[in-house]
Amino acid sequence: MSAFIHTVYPVASGDYTRAGEASADIKRKLKQLGVASMVLRRVAVASYEVELNLVIHSMGGELILEVDEKGISLTSQDVGPGIPDISMAMKEGYSTANEEARSLGFGAGMGLPNMKRNADGFEIDSELGKGTRISMRFNLV
Amino acid sequence: MTIQDMVDLLRAKVLCGEDKLETPVFSAFCSDLMSDVLAFVSDRTVLITGLVNPHVIRTADMLDLKCIVFCRGKVPTAAILEDAKDLGMTVISTRETAFTTCGRLYETGLKGVSITWPQEDKQT
């Protein structure tokens, strides 16, 4: 199926100043497409969470938005360090975020479970030393 | 209750969005943890916080929140307020604590948001 939107957003590690800009652009694009506000909000929340995760935890990566007639795909791919225990990371309240992230109001260990809750499809794969890939799908029909 | 009613109750200062003070408000959520705001706020609601940084506005934008109350006399920078203004938000600041802010609003009829816990999801 051919995507009619395919945008790649590079996200830098530790760049808290720009964190959220990709998600704001994603929300703007989807709003222009006429995506219903309930779906739009779910995508925006999941996108912001995953973008913040890239900034807080990764060594850098990218966020990829793809839209086709059936739905919206949001993929986060980073270059490390990888998650040692995914089942722990998926638990609400479990966090390895640093002080800087916490001082900004993040790192409460809600990110991954919140992404899963908001998406219709959620997959996470991680390899230590290689990186983490999170794929989320949001149905439009 | 309208935003103007909140301004009066909290003796708050309107920092931006003066043209939207007659907008009705139905529920509120108070937290300095934006992680929790993202996790628990699912409906249009008023955000009460003492945290002042650009991520408060970005978090509110993701959730389509249109009114933010900064408590404990916190006032965001002009740049943060400019972002809020561009996004059509109303931002007010009160000298009251978060506890008193919530108490005053609750007493006058504003409700908290309902949280659905994962266990309850599984049961339904």
Task: Sort out which chain A residues have CB atoms less than 8 A from B42's CB and list them.
Answer: 41
Whether the pLDDT of residue A105 is over 60: the answer is yes
Note whether B51 contacts A113, CB cutoff 8 Å: no
Look up residue A131 and give its amino acid.
G
pLDDT per residue as tens digits for the range B67-96: 999 999 999 999 999 999 999 999 999 999
Closest C-alpha among A115, A105, A27 to residue B68: A105
pLDDT per residue as tens digits for the range A40-86: 999 999 999 999 999 999 999 999 999 999 999 999 999 999 999 99
Return the residue of A nearest to B54 by Cα: A17
Return the residue of A nearest to B64 by Cα: A41
Return the residue of B nearest to A23 by Cα: B62
Query: Residue A74 has what pLDDT?
Result: 98
User: What values do phi and psi take at B111, rounded to 5?
Assistant: -105, 160
The arithmetic mean of pLDDT across residues A117-140, rounded, is 97
Q: What is the ipTM of this complex?
A: 0.91
B109: distance to nearest CA of chain A, Å?
26
Domain definitions of chain B by residue range: 3-110
**Which option is the CATH number for B3-110: 3.40.50.2300, 3.40.1390.20, 3.30.70.920, 2.60.15.10?**
3.40.1390.20
Query: Which helix (H) or strand (E) is B53 found in, with range?
Result: none
Q: Does A105 touch chain B (CB under 8 A)?
A: yes
Query: Residue B42 has what pLDDT?
Result: 73
Query: Residue A136 has what pLDDT?
Result: 98
Whether the pLDDT of residue B116 is over 90: the answer is no
pLDDT per residue as tens digits for the range A3-42: 689 999 999 999 999 999 999 999 999 999 999 999 999 9
Query: Residue B44 has what pLDDT?
Result: 76
Interfacial B residues in 55-94 facing A (CB < 8 Å): 55-56, 58-59, 61-64
DSSP assignment of A27-76: HHHHHHHT--HHHHHHHHHHHHHHHHHHHHHSSSEEEEEEE-SSEEEEEE
d(CA A23, CA A115): 13
Going along chain A from its start, the domains and CATH numbers come out as: 5-139 (3.30.565.10)
Contact call for residues A43 and A72 (beta carbons, < 8 A) = yes
Residue in B35, B59, B64 to test binding to A, most A beta-carbons within 10 Å: B35
Instruction: Considering only residues B95 and B44, tell me which one the structure prediction assigns the higher pLDDT.
Output: B95
Q: Does A39 touch chain B (CB under 8 A)?
A: no
Task: Sort out which chain B residues have CB atoms less than 8 A from A105's CB and list them.
Answer: 32-35, 37, 51, 53, 55-56, 59
Query: Residue B124 has what pLDDT?
Result: 45
